[in-house]
Amino acid sequence: MTVHHFDAAAIDPTPWKNGGGDTREVLCWPSGAGFDTFDWRVSLATIASSGPFSSFPGIDRTIMLMDGQGVRLRSKDDGIDHRLDTPWEPFAFPGEAAIFGKLMDGTTTDFNLMVRRGRLQPRIEIHRKAFKLDASKHGFLMSLSGTWRLVVGSGDLLCPPQQGLWWADTRHHVKAAPESNDGSAAMLSIRLEPVT
C-alpha cells in the first residue's frame, strides 16, 4: 500500500440529507467500504445548524474543532456534556451515543475520526515542533497550521494547512518538521495499530 497525499480543501463536500451541514471525506478504509464495513474513516464536517448526530454503533469516534466558535455535545443517557470550543483538542465518545450538537455561535468545522471498535486502536497527538512518527500499520498526518516538510523513505513533501499524508496496511515512519520555527505551526498525527 502506497502513501497517499491529500488536500482536504480540494475535496468536494457532500451535503447532509437533513440540510444541517456537509462532509468532506478524506479517506475511508478499506477502499470502497460502506458505513457498516469500514475499519477507519477520516472526514471534515461543517455544521450549519444544531441537531442530533448520526448513530454509529460499534464505532469509536473522535471529534476536534477546526474552525468556528464550536458546538456543545450533550447526551443525557450516556452522561456526555462537552463544550467543543477549543481548536485542536480531540474529544472521544462512543458512536452509538445519542449526541445532540448545539452550535455555540454560527457555523463550525470539525475534524472527525471513526474507528471500528475492537479492530484498531488509535493514538492521536498534536505536534508543535519537529518530530519522528514511529512506524505504524495505519497512519495519518495533517497540517493544522503552518507548512510542514514530511519525509517518508526517500521522498519528501511540503504540506500547508489541510494537507497531509495517510497510509494503510503497511508500516511507514515519517519525519516531520515545520518550515517556520516561530511556534505557530501545528500538526495532527494519528497512528493506528490492530487490536490484539
Instruction: Name the residue ranges covered by the structural domains of the chain.
Output: 9-116, 120-194
Domain 9-116 identical in fold to domain 120-194: yes
The CATH code that applies to domain 120-194 is 2.60.120.10
pLDDT value of residue 1: 56
Q: pLDDT tens digits, residue range 85-142? A: 999 999 999 999 999 999 999 999 999 999 999 999 999 999 999 999 999 999 999 9
* Residue-wise DSSP of 130-153: -EEEEEESEEEEEEEES-EEEEET
Is 196 exposed, middle or buried, given 0-12, 13-18 or 19+ CB atoms closer than 10 A?
A: exposed
What fold is seen in the domain 9-116?
Jelly Rolls (2.60.120)
Give the C-alpha separation, 64 to 87, whole Å.
7
pLDDT value of residue 127: 97
Q: pTM (2 decimals)? A: 0.95
Q: Say if CB 150 and CB 156 are below 8 A apart.
A: yes
Give the C-alpha separation, 79 to 91, whole Å.
14
